[in-house]
Amino acid sequence: NAGVMQNPRHLVRRRGQEARLRCSPMKGHSHVYWYRQLPEEGLKFMVYLQKENIIDESGMPKERFSAEFPKEGPSILRIQQVVRGDSAAYFCASSPSESSYNSPLHFGNGTRLTVT
């Protein structure tokens, strides 16, 4: 499968635990975006990364959330000390390096985080 791969599909965490969400972009893609979808809402941009660089994190909450995209391996979205309000679907999308603002993004199937 050459699509965007996210895992796990479903993640349950108790309040105060850490959540780690993984995303492997499509083959040949070097740009990764993370979006969050709250129940019954549209997706909201969180962060844009290229290999080893955070390009734009204007949509990330100031505390507890971090993202990385190392030279080797998947992109990771990390949420520390989760709270119930973090329950949402988290989608990763990727694009090739030569894309521009009007190129479509390729989305993964998402990770559905539930905080109990």
Partner 1 sequence: GDSVTQMEGPVTLSEEAFLTINCTYTATGYPSLFWYVQYPGEGLQLLLKATKADDKGSNKGFEATYRKETTSFHLEKGSVQVSDSAVYFCALSDPQSSGGAQKLVFGQGTRLTINP
Nearest Cα to Cα of residue 86 among 4, 12, 23: 12
Of residues 44, 52, 73, 80, which one binds partner 1 by CB under 8 A? 44
* Per CB under 8 A, 41 contacts partner 1: yes
* Per CB under 8 A, 53 contacts partner 1: no
Of residues 48, 60, 69, 79, which one binds partner 1 by CB under 8 A? 48
96 prior amide bond cis, ω within 30: no
Cβ neighbours for 110, distance < 8 A, ≥ 6 positions apart:
6, 9, 37, 89, 90, 91, 92
For 59-68, the CB contacts below 8 A with 24+ separation are 67/34
Of residues 21, 43, 113, 115, which one binds partner 1 by CB under 8 A? 43
Residues 56-95 that bind partner 1 (CB under 8 A): 56, 59, 91, 93, 95
Shortest separation between residue 24's beta carbon and partner 1, angstroms: 13
